[in-house]
Amino acid sequence: MPEGDTVWQTAQRLHQALAGPPLIRSDLRVPHLATADLTGRRVLEVVPRGKHLLTRVEGGLTLHSHLRMDGSWQVYGPDERWRGGPHHQIRAILANAAHTAVGYRLPVLELLRTGDEDRVVGHLGPDLLGPDWDPDEALRRLLADPSRPLGEALLDQRNLAGIGNVYKSELCFLLRVSPWLPIGEVASPERLVAHAKKLLEANRNRRARVTTAESRRDRRLWVYGRPGRPCLRCGTPVRAADQGRAGQERSTFWCPSCQAGPQGPVPS
């Protein structure tokens, strides 16, 4: 699933491509928007909110989209071949005279009044890459349930918006604590919030996400996506397991030697 930095980059690309000139094509390919037509309207701005994208259009309308696991927005020039996936996976097309934005496999696409945006993003916590960032409020929300495992608390967008599976695993490693440690037992939890902000800020303009300061592709991340491979710090094999409530499990990666606390499910 794209994380806050990826969504931020997508918003920048869409804004640069669409904002200003009037739309000459609007094709929203979901049943409840079959009759919606934005042709002739101008895109005012495209802004990220956590993992959500808000395309604000003149006339007080917002096209809300969420990429979830494998959705994407691609931008093309007038004569450029579309290559984001099969034609039947296209859910949205917005075009002006210079650029065409194509949304592939979008699981969430809805048109609402801009004044009603809180209906879809009002539940989110402070956005790590947004103008509303408030570290004190993010910390307060994280600690509201002190018995909750750290990994689950970090993924909950109601606490702070923008962290996904990669940053969850990497942040736990950087703090040297297990993702299963109750968040109320994390020493100096304000460091957790500061590290999260620092990592997303550092990566929002990068094409390849890096948390280790290494440039080699196989050494850019400490533990994420490296099950069974040696920890880059101590050499112990990295472990992986599902974490989360039933039906909401997500893969988690950690080093059992470097990270103190409960060690998650016993490997079968």
**51 is a catalytic site residue:** yes
The torsion angles phi and psi of 4, rounded to 5 degrees, stand at -55, -40
**Measuring CA to CA, which residue among 256, 160, 171, 244 is closest to residue 209?**
171
Grouping H, G, I as helix, E, B as strand and the rest as coil, residue 111 is: strand
**Measuring CA to CA, which residue among 150, 177, 199 is closest to residue 255?**
177
**Measuring CA to CA, which residue among 232, 50, 266 is closest to residue 154?**
50
**198 is a catalytic site residue:** no
Extended strands (E) in 39-159 = 43-49, 52-57, 61-66, 72-76, 90-95, 100-104, 108-113
Active-site pick, 49, 51, 91, 168? 51
**Measuring CA to CA, which residue among 221, 233, 173, 168 is closest to residue 196?**
168
Active-site pick, 2, 126, 179, 189? 2
Active-site pick, 29, 141, 148, 250? 250
**3 is a catalytic site residue:** yes
Active-site pick, 3, 49, 56, 149? 3
Do residues 112 and 64 make contact, with C-beta atoms less than 8 angstroms apart? yes
Query: What residues are labeled active site?
Result: 2-3, 51, 250
